[in-house]
Chains A and B, each alone.
Chain A
Amino acid sequence: MEQSVPTHREQTLLPEGMRGVVADFSSDQRAFKTASWGKAMMWIFLLSDTFVFGCFLIAYMTARISTPVPWPNPSEVFALHIGGQDVPLILIAIMTFVLISSSGTMAMAVNFGYRRERRITAALMLATALLGAMFVGMQAFEWTKLISEGVRPWENPWGAAQFGSSFFMITGFHGTHVTIGVIFLLIVARKVWRGDFDTERRGFFTSRKGHYESVEIMGLYWHFVDLVWVFIFAFFYLW
Chain B
Amino acid sequence: MSGTYRIAQPVDLSCDVLVVGSGAGGAAVAATLTRAGLDVLMVEEGPYVPAERAPAQLTTAFRRLWRGGGLTAALGAPPVAYAEGRCVGGTTEINSAIFQQTPPEVLQAWARQYGIADFGPEALRPYYARAAQAVHASPPSEPVGAATERLRAGGEALGWRVTALERGHRNCVGTNMCAHGCPTGGKQSMSATLIPAALAKGLRLIAECRVERLVFRRRRVATVLGSARDGHGMRHPVRIRPRQVFLCAGAIHTPALLRAHGWRRNIGTALRLHPTIKAAAIFPDTIDAHAFAVPQVAITEFMPDVRLGGSLFSPSTFGMFLAEDWGTRAALMPAWRNAGLYYAMVRGQGRGSVRPLPGRGTEPLVRYRLAPVDWQGLALGLERVGQALFAAGATRVVPSIGGHPGWNDPARCDEFSAGGLPVGRSNLMTIHLAGSAPPGEVEALCATDSFGRLRGLENLIVADASQIPEAPGVNPQATVMALAFRAAEAYLAQPERARRQRALAEIDRR
Query: Do A and B bind?
Result: no
